[in-house]
Structure 1
Amino acid sequence: MRSRILKGIFAGCVAALMAATTSASAGPLMDRINAGEPIRIGFANEIPFAYPADDGSPKGFVNVFTIAVLKKMGYDKIEPVQTEWGGLIPGLKANRFDIITGGMNILKSRCENVAFSEPMAKVGDGFVVAAGNPKKITDYKSIADSGAIMVTGAGYSNIEAAKAAGVPEANIMQVPGPTEILAAVKAGRADAGAGTYFTVKQLADTTDGALEASDPDAMPEDSFNWAGIGFRKDDQDFLDKFNAAEKEYLGTPDMLAAVAEYGYGKGSLPGDVTTDWVCANR
């Protein structure tokens, strides 16, 4: 009898220890999901990456991609949260949302604060300039050499790229996002608006020929970046499962059909580059 009691106590302790270990390994996102809470996706108004529709629903190819991966994982209780670009990483760290879907480039400096998924897109930079490109702006070095004024979004990776090419900080105007970038170039306050080629092409297309996008092929190879989905570092358990589901979905006909309307095609696929490599080299 005493042996049975001891075995029962031992089994109960093992079960309790396993439950405690499982609970400890779960990040805050899994805790929210297990409590029946929605997965909150944070994004800024960054067409065509991620932006709100008129009814507030999440649009853009990064949102569409992320929501599809989450659904493949079995999660469809999702709450969109729009904020300014500069508030994405602080909002993630402050638990105001759970995932960044804004089309954020993976950078060494960001990897210190954010756990990124494996890359979901290869993204080249570009510039929106006056029609005819009078200052011959083709890359960041041409901005530095000409003394041109560049405008870009606060917190954009274009700031680091411009400084690395020798553009003085005084010649880099920072604004909240694409709408303000377009306004600054149209008004002549800036000579070039910097962003991803996806973004600047969309901006130029709204101006009836007054502005144009620079040639993306003129950009050096080392200016290309890779976009990923951002998670809190405490949510590595969820991120591992997300990466597994992403690997099965990325590049499939269903995925490419879902994002085609936003200008994402086969040429936008990230290739074999890993997040570890990007964090070390960008």
Structure 2
Amino acid sequence: MKFVKVLMAIAMTFMLAAPASAADIDLAKESTINKILKSGELRVGFDASYAPFEITDKNGRYIGFDIDLAKELAKAMGVKFVPVNTDFDGIIPSLLSNKFDVIISGMTLTQQRNLQIGFSDPYFLMGQGVMVSNKLQGKIARYKELNDPKYVVVSRLGTTGEEAVKKYLPKATYKSFEKEVDCGMEVISGRADAFVFDIPALENIASVQGKGKVFVLNDPFTFEPMAIGYKQGDPDFANFLNNFIFQFKNDGRYQRLYDKWFRSDAWKSQLKK
């Protein structure tokens, strides 16, 4: 009798497991991985106005740290890299409407964004800094000192820079712009006092357009991990992306790209003068 009960229990286990296995198989078939492999293309969404992560060179080609990262991801999948340049403020809706497969655009992983899309493990750690007009040299040494209505502080619309201004500098007079280059020119021209944004971008603007006109407070006052964005509900793709990033960050490729884009300015010769 006990033997019969054991057999019945085993049979019941298999009956319950079968639908779950079928569901798992169906989920795997719907994974973005299979769609990418079937099409032979990895479509990557980004906004090519964020040096040195994604920019356009003098020949109209897309270059940058993120572009090289995306090419490595496509290579790992054995497919063609297809760039899709998209305005940053509409990049999440574009992913959700299947305009591309992933977002690799210097996007900070925030809890608010994570409610809309999935994120891989971080591939880059970032923080907010401040680019300040030279007219405030000797007056402003910390970001907190800008928290005053007499100071005009700018940042890019829809970014964590904008969030940082509203959170940490609520008393400052705030203005937003759609592109970081416009924010930078506001400070360089003297129409604004400071620009809050990601430190590498600030240092690039300061060294190119703002040389001798601005200075950068490059001690980050926020913690912002950058990650690859993808549509939610895809555990197989999430697993693949996380394993790719782990390999990328530990086999020497990350360091080579970091040295290329952040410890050298040779890439600037590829830009329009």
Give TM class, smaller chain.
0.7 to 0.9
Cross-structure match for 2:243: 244
Q: Are residues 1:63 and 2:62 paired?
A: no
Report if aligned partners of 1:70, 1:242 keep a CA contact under 8 Å in 2: no
Cross-structure match for 1:85: 88
Cross-structure match for 2:198: 196
SS in 2 for 1:35: helix
Q: Distance in 1 between matches of 2:192 and 2:228?
A: 31
Q: Distance in 1 between matches of 2:189 and 2:29?
A: 51
Distance 1:115 1:203, change over 3 A: same
Match of 2:165 among 162, 165, 169: 162
Distance 1:34 1:15, change over 3 A: farther
Distance 1:76 1:131, change over 3 A: farther
Q: Are residues 1:153 and 2:146 paired?
A: no
Q: Distance in 1 between matches of 2:241 and 2:151?
A: 42
Q: Distance in 2 between matches of 1:81 and 1:116?
A: 19
Cross-structure match for 1:53: 57
Cross-structure match for 2:123: 120
* CA-atom RMSD in angstroms: 2.8
Match of 1:171 among 170, 173, 180: 173
| 1:22-61 alignment runs, 5 A limit | 22-27=25-30, 29-44=32-47, 45-61=49-65
Unaligned runs of 5+ in 2: 1-16, 265-273
Distance 1:139 1:111, change over 3 A: farther
Distance 1:35 1:254, change over 3 A: closer
Name the TM-score, length of structure 2 as normaliser: 0.79
* Amino acid aligned to 1:76: V
Deviation at 1:34, TM superposition (A): 3.9
Match of 1:99 among 97, 102, 109: 102
| 1:174-253 alignment runs, 5 A limit | 174-207=176-209, 209-217=211-219, 219-220=220-221, 223-253=222-252
Q: Distance in 2 between matches of 1:23 and 1:264?
A: 46
Distance 1:208 1:149, change over 3 A: closer
Deviation at 1:55, TM superposition (A): 4.4
Unaligned runs of 5+ in 1: 1-13, 266-282
Q: Distance in 1 between matches of 2:69 and 2:162?
A: 27
Report if aligned partners of 1:41, 1:99 keep a CA contact under 8 Å in 2: yes
Q: Distance in 1 between matches of 2:232 and 2:134?
A: 44
Distance 1:108 1:211, change over 3 A: farther
What percentage of residue pairs aligned between the two structures are identical?
24
Report if aligned partners of 2:74, 2:80 keep a CA contact under 8 Å in 1: no
Distance 1:139 1:164, change over 3 A: farther
How many residue pairs end up in the alignment? 247
Deviation at 1:179, TM superposition (A): 1.6
Name the TM-score, length of structure 1 as normaliser: 0.77
